[in-house]
Every structure is written in structure tokens, then in C-alpha cells.
Amino acid sequence: MTSWKDRWRKRKQTSRALPTWKLGEGSPVLPADPRDALVSASIGPAGELVALWSTSEDEAALRSVTTQPGWATFPDPTAARPVTARVTRQAGDILDVTELPGMTLAHPSLQPLPEGRILVVGARCRWRKDGPDRNAVIYGSDGRIEAQATLGDGIEHVFTTTSGEVWVGYFDEGVYGNYGWGDSSSAPPMGSSGLVRFSPQLEPTWRFPSHVDNQWGAISDCYALNVTDESVWTCYYTDYPIVQIRQDSVAGWRNHISGAKALAVSGNRVGLLGGYGPQQDRLVVGELADQAMRVVGEYRLVLPGGAPLPPQVRAIGRGPVLHLITAERWYRLPLDELTPE
């Protein structure tokens, strides 16, 4: 039997042998305050960069964890203490800043909403008999809280549309239950379907179908998610199909590329970025036809000067564009710029 070390070594060798594709120069990531630390970043429905910032001291509070005996570490649903955070919305050189005082959600994701509002979602959510954590907060354009809701535990992806709908993808603990969810005496996990659409009022309006109603299988872990106003795309564990949701109907294509963390789609072309271990910089380009993806190119993404991608790069697909965000730079790679080998 092949050991995990052997598999890791083989993946590294395979990845390093790929031809490189240099990213363009990109744009600087503009902080609200030059002294701020970047806590979270994502891409909105119009392709804008949205980011959450705080002081370095407050960043540690927003990444609060609990360590159990035996050195098991669990992310906390709430911050170690309330902090003042700042949200930036960046489109080109235009920067809009909103201050969020007293923020308490830990491990946050964020997305823009219509009328300058902001959605902040905590990755973890504990179920209790007296009511679960409310791990979603809508802030007005003035930074005041307008609404709070529960979106469930184990949240991997959060993306909004221009109309304010919210798509949430869950990792395995959000699907199968943890933090009190899924026990015999508690509620089933809100993310048991792996992918849920919520209304602008944060009420669930659609769930990904089970394996009984969906030939591509159930979602055990929503690895990659791409949301546009017209359709939603996902690639998920366990069999990594590429699936499109359009008008609540599901279509899919078989795929043998495992572990992708982001995807971009342009017509019948798909880009899958990432993989396991040393494959985080692998980009596979394929074409969709006859219910399967045919690989037409594989690359190793590198920075403009040829240096490898930093370990903590954030990779996000929105429509036909892959976005890669570091603490200092925002790179955009339209799928149409990649030509088959």
C-alpha cells in the first residue's frame, strides 16, 4: 500500500514538472489603515474585492480557537472579545470603507449586499437547546447591525448575487454534524445537503438534492464554488463532479481531477485550481462535453516574477475569472487568457 508520504512526494514531483503560467502584475490590496492586518477577503458579484481588516491584536481575537487535552484544536464560533473591524470594497483604485464596531464573529467570511450593506458570516456555529448561535450578521452601509440569522456550522464558502441571494457551501463537519448539530437530541445540520441558497432575508430557499434525486451524488464537502447571477457551479467531494445549478436544475460532468479549491467557467471551458498537498498551485483547464470534462491543459501558477504562490494565497472563482489574493496583491486570471497547449 502506498503511504501518504509517497503520495505527497509524487504529487510534488508531478506538480513541479508542469509548465508554469505567470500571473499578471495585479493590483495592490488597499487597506483601510496601513497598520491593519488582513483577516478575510473575497470577491463580490460585480468582481469587486471585499476585505475585512483589523489591528494585529484584534486579528488574533477573530481567529480564536479552543485546544482540548491531547492537543486537538477547534475554531471558536465567537471571537475572544468584541473587536472593531473595517470592511473595504475595492474596484480598481476606488476604495469604500465601512467600520464595524463590536464585531464578535470568529473566522469570518464576508460578501457585499445591495444598497451598500455587508454580510459577515462565521465559519462555526454551535447548536444549543435554547437556540443555536446566530453566525450571520447583516450590517448597514453605516456599520450598524440590521439583521442576524443562523446559517449553520461548517461553512466553507459564502457568495452573494447582485439581487442579494446568498449561496453557502459547507465542509464535511457542516454536512455530517459537529458542534452539537446532528446528535440524537439536537437538530440536523443546516448544511446537510452541502450547498444551500438563502433569500436576502437569510431564509433557506433551495438545497442541493440528495444522491437519490441527483445522479452526480451527494455533497460530502463543497470544495469549490462559483456563483453568478445566471448559474452556480461546484466541484465537490467525494467524486469531484463538475456540477451546474441553473434555475434550480442540476447538470453535471464527470471529472478525474481531485481536490480543486476554486473553479472558473467560460462557456464550455473550465479551470480547476488547487489540489492536495503540494498541488495548491496546479491549474487544470478542461472542456465540458458528453457529461465529462476533457483536460486540454495543465499549468503551475507562479507569481509575476516566477516565484511560487505563497502558502496563504486566497483563490476564488467568479464567473470566468480566477482571483488570487495575497496580503499585498490582487491577481486576476480570466480563463479565456489560457490557451490549450
Which set of grid coordinates corresponds to residue 133? 448561535
Specify the amino acid at residue 304.
P
187 and 235 in a common domain: no
CA distance 285 to 260: 12
305 and 196 in a common domain: no
pLDDT for 185 equals 92
How far does Cα 280 stand from its chain's mean position? 14
Can you state the percent helix, strand and coil of the chain, rounding each to 5? Answer: 10, 45, 45
164 and 234 in a common domain: no
For residue 293, tell me if it sits in a domain. yes
For residue 215, tell me if it sits in a domain. no
Give the pLDDT band (50/70/90) at residue 3. confident
As a whole number, the mean pLDDT across the chain is 96
pLDDT for 341 equals 52
CB 293 within 8 A of CB 270: yes
CB-based burial label for 302 (10 Å; 0-12, 13-18, 19+): middle
CB 319 within 8 A of CB 11: no
pLDDT for 9 equals 78
| 196: number of Cβ within 10 Å | 23
CA distance 280 to 15: 9
For residue 217, tell me if it sits in a domain. no
Mean pLDDT of 182-203: 97
Strands 242-246 vs 232-237: parallel, antiparallel or unpaired: antiparallel
What is the value of pTM for the model shown? 0.96
For residue 218, tell me if it sits in a domain. no
35 and 14 in a common domain: no
307 and 284 in a common domain: yes
How far does Cα 243 stand from its chain's mean position? 16
pLDDT for 1 equals 64
Range of the domain at 275: 1-29+224-341
Predicted confidence (pLDDT) per residue in 281-305, tens digit: 999 999 999 999 999 999 999 999 9
pLDDT for 4 equals 67
CA of 208: how far to CAs of 165, 199, 254, 274, in Å? 15, 15, 18, 23
pLDDT for 16 equals 77
Specify the amino acid at residue 206.
W
Mean pLDDT of 135-148: 98
| 254: number of Cβ within 10 Å | 14
Domain count, the chain: 2
Mean pLDDT of 209-225: 96
Q: Is the predicted pLDDT of residue 340 greater than 70, yes or no?
A: no
For residue 124, tell me if it sits in a domain. yes
For residue 91, tell me if it sits in a domain. yes
Mean pLDDT of 111-131: 98
CA of 2: how far to CAs of 8, 10, 102, 237, 297, in Å? 10, 11, 50, 21, 27
109 and 68 in a common domain: yes
230 and 185 in a common domain: no
pLDDT for 223 equals 99
113: Cα within 13 Å, side-chain hemisphere: 25
